[in-house]
Amino acid sequence: MTPDVDTLRRFFASAPFMADLGIEPFEAGEGRVATRLALQPRHLQHTGIVHAGVIGAMADHTMGAAAQTMAPEGHWILTAEYKVNLLRAGRGERLECVATVIKPGRQVSFTAAEVFAVDGAERRLVATASATMAVTKAA
């Protein structure tokens, strides 16, 4: 995959769940992707903070996209395992996630991400994540 924002926007738009959540890439490079999500009431849990599932899904797909930028032609990245550490409540105008490939591989790649809550000029780290991504032959 070409690691540019336009290509990644099409990639995210083709994933119905990501499109439904509203997560979009805004920076891209080989092995690195940054996404954002304008927070809406549907992203919140009953206490008014961002639902952990939203944060986890954002980190997962952003890490997968980062790995996809380094995958060989004709291959897809699938999550084999991921872990999210929720550090504090997510609240604000939007979330931003920055994911990088720590170690690319022929069969698996290792990735990491940080998720930030942004409110005006304030940007606070709310979660970290790591994932093992399987490199699979496209069907």
Share of the chain above pLDDT 90, in %: 96
Say how many domains are in the chain. 1
pLDDT of residue 139: 78
Sign of the CA dihedral with 128 first, then 105, 4, and 64 last:
negative
CATH number for the domain that contains residue 113: 3.10.129.10
Q: Do 49 and 65 meet the contact criterion of CB atoms below 8 Å apart?
A: no
pLDDT tier at 4 (50, 70, 90 boundaries)? confident
Is 2 a residue whose pLDDT tops 90? no
Mean pLDDT of 58-84: 97
What is the chain's mean pLDDT, rounded?
Answer: 96
pLDDT of residue 71: 95
For 57, the domain range is 5-137
- Amino acid identity of residue 3, one-letter, is P
Q: Do 33 and 76 meet the contact criterion of CB atoms below 8 Å apart?
A: no
Mean pLDDT of 3-15: 91
Decide: pTM greater than 0.85: yes
Q: Do 68 and 75 meet the contact criterion of CB atoms below 8 Å apart?
A: no
Q: Do 31 and 105 meet the contact criterion of CB atoms below 8 Å apart?
A: no
Mean pLDDT of 7-29: 94
> Distances from the Cα of 126 to the Cαs of 13, 41, 85, 88, in angstroms?
25, 18, 9, 5
